[in-house]
Amino acid sequence: MKKLKPTSMISAMVLATTLSASLSFASEYPEKSVEVVVGYSAGGGTDVMARTIATHLENYLGKDAGLVVKNYPGAGGQIGFTKVATADADGYTLGTMNLPAALALTYDRKADYSADSFTWLANFVSDPNTLVVSKESGITSVEQLIQVAQQKQGAMTVGLAALGGNDHFSAIQFAEAANIKLIHVPFKGAAMARTSIMGGHVNMGTMAFSQTVGFDNELRVLAVLSDERLPQALNIPTAKELGYDVVMGAYRGLVAPAGLPEATLKKLKVALDKLAEDPAFLEDMKKRGTPVQYNSGVAYESLAKEQNEIAKKIWQETPWK
């Protein structure tokens, strides 16, 4: 038998030790707390989702899996998205993802990330946009809304949380489908847009459904922009069933930096799959008026690419900056 030289024996021992340490690390993940980055202020829909997920996900990742939610607001979420995209791909930095807004940002400004910068873990929320008016407006149907827009001859205003997001894209798509003209009025967030709609300062809005929950006395939702009626709002028609083929909403989920180790990814996926079926978690999400639509891995990445193409097309046809 051929004997190894001393240097070869040392190299083999180092390699074996390194492999052993790597395998041990992967099998023991997580060994410390995991940071969940939110690119928006505390209290918003994305932040609430992140904190609800974090509370319940700890049960499935193990006793050492403390999940700590940290907010990095600013630049329409770009600060947070960038922080996740550029973090070490070790499983200890996760982040919330908002579609189509996060990818739309890469078209109207310089961004240090793209759709390929992330490991697409799981989408949890499908929050469809709506056609909504103040109850004081007297408008009670989509047809009446369109008639008012036609009468205003291009002066119909629509309040938006921001430009380059799902509210904005919904307004563009609805105007095209209904053959009307709308004046876009962007605000700094959904709360300000909602206040403006309720106060009659703008004629209508296209805000996400969850952002209308709790305001039944002030707002009237005329239609939801989803494929099917929402289980929590079966009395509200879809724009699609009324003859306007518009489907748009906010998708919220979790991502990690690209290149996540396979063993770590597998453990996260198993935990997230279990979380998606947890009755306590689903009840918490329901209480917050958040429609849950779960898809993970390849399906989530496909959704991201689809939303990216929508953002790209709208940017090319009607750039917002």
Tens digit of each residue's pLDDT (9 = 90 or more) over 36-45: 999 988 887 8
**Strand 93-99 vs strand 34-38: parallel, antiparallel, or unpaired?**
parallel
Q: Is residue 13 part of a domain?
A: no
Q: In whole angstroms, what is the distance from residue 177 CA to residue 229 CA? A: 19
Q: Is the pLDDT of residue 308 over 50?
A: yes
Q: What is the percent of the chain where pLDDT is above 70?
A: 91
What mean pLDDT is predicted for residues 277-301?
Answer: 90
User: What CATH number is given to the structural domain containing 135?
Assistant: 3.40.190.10
Residues 160 and 240 in one domain: yes
Residues 185 and 134 in one domain: yes
Tokens 């289980």 map to which residue? 231
Residues 221 and 256 in one domain: no
What mean pLDDT is predicted for residues 191-218?
Answer: 94
First-to-last CA distance in the chain? Answer: 73
Residues 105 and 44 in one domain: yes
Q: In whole angstroms, what is the distance from residue 191 CA to residue 172 CA? A: 21
The domain boundary, picked from 190, 219, 247, lies at 247
Residues 52 and 134 in one domain: no
> pLDDT: is 1 or 57 the higher one?
57
Q: Is the pLDDT of residue 195 over 80?
A: yes
> What is the predicted pLDDT for the residue at 21?
45
**Strand 182-186 vs strand 93-99: parallel, antiparallel, or unpaired?**
unpaired
> What is the predicted pLDDT for the residue at 76?
86
Instruction: Specify the pTM.
Output: 0.81
Q: Is residue 26 part of a domain?
A: no
Q: Is the pLDDT of residue 156 over 50?
A: yes
The domain boundary, picked from 195, 221, 247, lies at 247
Confidence of residue 3 (pLDDT cuts 50, 70, 90): low
> What is the predicted pLDDT for the residue at 45?
81
The domain boundary, picked from 247, 263, 290, lies at 247
Q: Is residue 295 part of a domain?
A: yes
Q: Is residue 203 part of a domain?
A: yes
Confidence of residue 122 (pLDDT cuts 50, 70, 90): very high
Residues 211 and 143 in one domain: yes
Q: Is residue 54 part of a domain?
A: yes
Sequential DSSP letters for 130-178: EEEEEGGG---SHHHHHHHHHHHTT-EEEEES-TTSHHHHHHHHHHHHH
Q: What would the pLDDT profile of 224-263 be if each residue is shown by its tens digit?
A: 999 999 988 999 999 999 999 999 999 999 999 999 999 9
Query: What pairs with residue 126 in β-bridges?
Result: 251
> What is the predicted pLDDT for the residue at 170?
97
Residues 181 and 36 in one domain: no
- Phi and psi at residue 124, to the nearest 5°: -110, -30
Residues 211 and 241 in one domain: yes
The count of structural domains within the chain is 2
Domain span including residue 157: 130-247
Residues 138 and 90 in one domain: no
Q: Is residue 116 part of a domain?
A: yes
Confidence of residue 19 (pLDDT cuts 50, 70, 90): very low
